[in-house]
Amino acid sequence: MTVAAPVPAPDHTADTPPVISMRDVSKYFDDFQALKSVSFDVQKGERVVVCGPSGSGKSTLIRCINRLEAHEAGEIMVEGTTLDDTRASLDQIRGAVGMVFQQFNLFPHLTVLQNLTLGPRRVLGLSEEEARKRAMTYLERVQIPDQAEKFPRQLSGGQQQRVAIARSLCMEPRIMLFDEPTSALDPEMIAEVLEVMTELADSGMTMIVVTHEMGFARRVADRMVFMDKGEIVETGTPEAFFTAPKSQRCATFLQQILNH
Amino acid sequence: MKRFLLLLPVLFLLSGCSGNWGWYVVDPSTSNGAANLRFLISGAYNTVLMSVTAILISITLGLLIALPGLSDKRGWRALNRTYVEIVRAVPILVLILWVYYGLPQLSGITLNVFWAGVLALALSDSAFQAEIFRAGIQSIHKGQYEAAQSISLSYRDTMRYVILPQAIRRILPALGNQLVYMLKMSSLVSVIGMQELTRKANELVVSEYRPLEIYTVLVLEYLALILIVSAGVRWLERRMNAAES
Q: Which domains, and CATH codes, for chain B?
A: 2-43+197-230 (no CATH), 46-194 (1.10.3720.10)
* Residue A96 banded pLDDT, cuts 50, 70, 90: very high
Contact A83, A68 (CB under 8 A): no
Contact A128, A121 (CB under 8 A): yes
Q: How far is CA A4 from the centre of its chain?
A: 21
| A94, A110, A164 ranked by CB distance to B149: nearest | A94
Mean pLDDT of A133-157: 95
**pLDDT, position A16:** 80
Q: Which one-letter DSSP state was computed for residue B153?
A: -
Tens of each residue's pLDDT in chain B, 245 residues: 566 666 666 656 655 555 577 888 888 899 999 999 999 999 999 999 999 999 999 999 999 999 999 988 999 999 999 999 999 999 999 999 999 999 999 988 889 999 999 999 999 999 999 999 999 999 999 999 999 999 999 999 999 999 999 999 999 999 999 999 999 999 999 999 999 999 999 999 999 999 999 999 999 999 999 999 999 999 988 888 776 65
pLDDT at A254 over 70: yes
Q: Is residue A33 part of a domain?
A: no
Q: How far apart are CA B134 and CA B126, in angstroms?
A: 12
pLDDT tens-digit map of A26-66: 999 999 999 999 999 999 999 999 999 998 999 999 999 99
| B146, B161, B162 ranked by CB distance to A68: nearest | B146
Q: Flag if A107 and B143 touch (Cβ within 8 Å).
A: no
The domain of A215 spans: 45-259
- Torsions phi, psi of B112, nearest 5? -75, 170
* Residue A10 banded pLDDT, cuts 50, 70, 90: low
CA dihedral (A103, A109, A111, A117) positive or negative: negative
Residues of chain B contacting residue A99, judged by C-beta atoms under 8 Å apart: 146, 150
Closest Cα partner for A186 from A155, A148, A163? A155
pLDDT at A206 over 80: yes
| Complex ipTM | 0.90
* Residue A1 banded pLDDT, cuts 50, 70, 90: very low
Q: Flag if B147 and A107 touch (Cβ within 8 Å).
A: yes
In this structure, which long-range contacts are made by residues A224-227, counting pairs with CB atoms below 8 Å and at least 24 apart in sequence? A224/A48, A224/A49, A224/A51, A225/A40, A225/A48, A225/A49, A225/A50, A225/A51, A226/A50, A226/A51, A226/A52, A226/A250, A226/A253, A227/A50, A227/A51, A227/A52, A227/A56, A227/A57, A227/A58, A227/A61
**pLDDT, position A181:** 96
Contact A75, A246 (CB under 8 A): no
How deeply is B70 buried, as exposed, middle or buried, from its count of CB atoms within 10 A (0-12, 13-18, 19+)? middle
DSSP bridge pairs for A231: A228
Tell which wins on pLDDT, A14 or A69.
Answer: A69
CATH of the domain at A146: 3.40.50.300
| A97, A103, A119 ranked by CB distance to B153: nearest | A119
Interface check for A94 against chain B (CB to CB < 8 A): the answer is yes
Q: Which one-letter DSSP state was computed for residue A191?
A: H
Interface check for A183 against chain B (CB to CB < 8 A): the answer is no
Q: Is residue A121 part of a domain?
A: yes
Residues of chain B contacting residue A109, judged by C-beta atoms under 8 Å apart: 165-166, 169, 244
**pLDDT, position A17:** 87
- For A25, the enclosing helix (H) or strand (E) is strand A20-29
Number of neighbouring beta carbons within 10 Å of residue A258: 10
Closest Cα partner for A76 from A101, A55, A94, A102? A94
Q: How far is CA A136 from the centre of its chain?
A: 22
Q: Is residue A34 part of a domain?
A: no
Q: How far apart are CA A168 and CA A181, in angstroms?
A: 13
Q: Which one-letter DSSP state was computed for residue A17?
A: P
**What angle in degrees, to the nearest 10, is found between the helix axes of B211-242 and B197-208?**
160
Closest Cα partner for A47 from A189, A186, A219, A170? A219
**pLDDT, position B241:** 77
Q: Is residue A23 part of a domain?
A: no
The distance in angstroms from the start CA to the end CA of chain A is 16
- Exposure string of B122-157, with b = 16+ CB inside 10 Å and e = fewer, is bbbbbbbbbbbbbebbeebeeebbbbbbbbbbeeeb
pLDDT tens-digit map of A163-204: 999 999 999 999 999 999 999 999 999 999 999 999 999 999
Q: Is residue A27 part of a domain?
A: no
Q: How far apart are CA A87 and CA A66, in angstroms?
A: 13
Query: Looking at CA atoms only, how far is residue A134 from chain B in angstroms?
Result: 15
CB-side neighbour CA atoms (13 Å) of A14: 13
Indicate the number of domains in chain A: 1
Q: Is residue A190 part of a domain?
A: yes
Q: How far apart are CA A121 and CA B162, in angstroms?
A: 14
**What angle in degrees, to the nearest 10, is found between the helix axes of B211-242 and B164-185?**
170
Q: Flag if B151 and A154 touch (Cβ within 8 Å).
A: no
